[in-house]
């Protein structure tokens, strides 16, 4: 009789896989995990209890772990995948590092989660074409937990599909046909080495301090649990030289994982550069947004105004509320820990639309406390609500100098730039905010409004449709902070009205 696994067995299996491989599984993966467990039990001729006992031992069977890796890892890749990032590497990151390392003539790069090697070899081809002098010592190391993929990488034999994004000149220069496949030139192959390695497992002998100049770790951390992803990024950060570069996948961001990097935005893509210093700062965005719950603030909307003008007009209607006698003001005490300012009174005043009082409360904080990221963010919010976009921009600049991965600060900067007549700069900051926090509705809405007013109806429809979806599930407190005084219903109504105004809008 065939052994079968129960729900409890599947849960144990998931826990063991997450422990050893660091992989995250949502509830929709339970059926897949159940099928996989059943197949592996049958392949090993084991009962659920026996198989899970072996898997949960201090040293689980190596070959079985390899078999699981082959089942669980995503191996889709190709040469020169995501051409915008390859251009950023070739035209920005590589020249920067060649200049920085010119005295040593040595360059070290890592392709983490290299799969079948296309990424690592792509980097090698770009480097080879970029170097005019032959006295450089260049090494590119590829690591992956999937040994089947590593064997393919070492063979350097690829199909037409793997080369689908390769320019014809590079194809003819570095590949020769052999049967139906193409074999990579040995000069490129010799620049790259491959190694079996589990990213989720720390190894101080491998992750040496400042041992790499550039790291590609694309479409990898998105599959790990948050704790494992954070640990991996910390190891990568320590292994990069100051000023070294990190490339992640388009759907991945360091927001909430690390403050060791500067965000870079060129060639239509985002990537990271390690800071020279190692300051760590907290992420003020969601911490501030979750500190309170909103009231029902739904003013009338005039869609003919710019978004900044609309926010300013919404603020004017509550000016009388901000003129409360001084004796009614609640001041923040100074005995609290300066590192953890008590913003609840100021947030309550924001909720009640008493912006100037809340701002005065922040100004009364001790100087060191007043420079905390969450205080600066709240100050920028209050100034924006109050229509003082000039000073709001100065505060945002200060905040971004401290925490450039604050999606909220970039969104507020977008409003400030629109107010100054710089719609291009406004769109740039909105795009950064969207990249840093894809679930943040307001920059999507603002991008849609900017596109609508510039008669770019296709972009307007795309951004407004996405904003409409995000607004309906956006955190309520974040809407109060960044919604310009409008409630969810009013923002959704604005979104739909603007969509209706776009010819052909759905």
Helix, strand, coil abundance in the chain, percent, nearest 5: 55, 10, 35
> What's the pLDDT tens digit per position in 316-371?
443 333 333 333 333 333 333 445 567 777 777 777 777 788 888 888 887 777 77
**Could you tell me the pTM of the whole model?**
0.78
Query: Which among 294, 261, 469, 497 has a CA at the least distance from the CA of 385?
Result: 294
Residue 207 near residue 199 (C-beta atoms within 8 A): no
User: At 392, which helix (H) or strand (E)?
Assistant: helix 389-402
Query: Which among 78, 164, 254 has a CA at the least distance from the CA of 263?
Result: 254
Q: What is the DSSP letter of 399?
A: H
User: Residue 316 forms beta bridges with which residues?
Assistant: none
At 486 the pLDDT is 81
User: At 151, which helix (H) or strand (E)?
Assistant: helix 147-155
> What's the pLDDT tens digit per position in 39-97?
999 999 989 999 999 998 988 999 999 999 999 988 889 999 999 999 999 999 999 99
Residue 211 near residue 237 (C-beta atoms within 8 A): no
> What's the pLDDT tens digit per position in 253-308?
998 899 899 999 999 899 999 998 644 445 555 555 544 433 333 333 444 456 66
217-254 burial, b at 16+ Cβ within 10 Å, e below that, comes to: bbbbbebbbeebbbbbbebbbbbbbebbbbbbbeebbb
DSSP 316-360: HTTGGGG---GGG--PPPSSS-TTS---HHHHHHHHTT-HHHHHH
> What's the pLDDT tens digit per position in 209-258?
999 999 999 999 999 999 999 999 999 999 999 999 999 999 899 988 99
Q: CA 15, CA 35: separation in Å to the nearest integer?
A: 16
At 298 the pLDDT is 35
Q: CA 377, CA 359: separation in Å to the nearest integer?
A: 11
Query: Which among 330, 329, 343, 336 has a CA at the least distance from the CA of 292?
Result: 343
């Amino acid at each position: 009789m065939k052994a079968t696994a129960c729900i409890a067995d599947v849960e144990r299996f998931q826990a063991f896989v997450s422990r050893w491989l660091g992989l995250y599984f949502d509830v929709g993966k339970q059926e897949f995990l159940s099928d996989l467990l059943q197949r592996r039990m049958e392949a090993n001729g084991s009962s659920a209890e026996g198989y899970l006992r072996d898997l949960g031992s201090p040293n689980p069977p190596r070959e079985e772990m390899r078999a699981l890796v082959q089942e669980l890892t995503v191996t889709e890749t190709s040469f020169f995948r995501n051409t915008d990032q390859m251009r950023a590497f070739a035209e920005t990151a590589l020249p920067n590092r060649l200049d920085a390392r010119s005295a040593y003539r040595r360059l070290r790069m890592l392709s983490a989660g290299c799969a079948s090697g296309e990424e690592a070899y792509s980097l090698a081809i770009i480097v080879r074409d970029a170097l005019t002098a032959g006295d450089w010592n260049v090494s590119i190391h590829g690591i992956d937990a999937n040994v089947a993929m590593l064997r393919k990488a070492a063979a350097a034999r690829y199909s037409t599909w793997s080369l689908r994004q390769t320019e014809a000149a590079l194809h003819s220069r570095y590949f020769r046909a052999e049967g139906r496949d193409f074999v990579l030139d040995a000069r490129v192959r010799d620049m790259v080495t491959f190694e079996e390695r589990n990213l989720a497992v720390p190894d101080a002998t491998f992750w040496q301090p400042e041992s790499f100049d550039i790291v590609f770790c694309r479409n990898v951390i998105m599959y790990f649990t948050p704790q494992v992803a954070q640990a991996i990024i910390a190891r990568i950060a320590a292994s990069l030289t100051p000023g070294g570069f990190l490339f992640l996948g388009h759907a991945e961001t360091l927001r909430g994982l690390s403050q060791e990097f500067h965000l870079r935005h060129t060639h239509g893509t985002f990537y990271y550069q390690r800071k020279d210093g190692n300051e760590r700062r907290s992420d003020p965005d969601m911490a501030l947004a979750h500190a309170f719950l909103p009231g029902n603030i739904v003013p009338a909307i005039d869609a003919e105004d710019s978004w900044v003008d609309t926010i300013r007009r919404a603020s004017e209607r509550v000016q009388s509320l901000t003129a409360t006698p001084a004796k009614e003001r609640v001041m923040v005490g100074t005995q609290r820990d300066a590192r953890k300012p008590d913003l609840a009174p100021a947030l309550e005043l924001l909720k009640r639309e008493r912006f100037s009082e809340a701002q005065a409360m922040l100004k009364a904080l001790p100087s060191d406390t007043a420079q905390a990221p969450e205080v600066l963010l709240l100050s920028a919010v209050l100034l924006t609500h109050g229509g003082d976009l000039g000073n709001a921009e100065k505060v945002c600049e200060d905040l971004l100098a401290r925490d450039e991965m604050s999606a909220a600060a970039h969104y507020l900067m977008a409003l400030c730039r629109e107010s100054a007549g710089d719609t291009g700069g406004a769109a740039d900051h909105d795009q950064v905010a969207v990249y840093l926090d894809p679930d943040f509705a307001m920059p999507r809405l603002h991008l849609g409004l900017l596109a609508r007013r510039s008669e770019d109806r296709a972009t307007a429809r795309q951004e407004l449709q996405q904003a409409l979806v995000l607004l309906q599930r956006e955190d309520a407190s974040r809407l109060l902070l960044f919604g310009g005084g409008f409630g969810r219903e009013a923002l959704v109504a604005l979104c739909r009205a603007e969509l209706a105004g776009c010819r052909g809008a759905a």
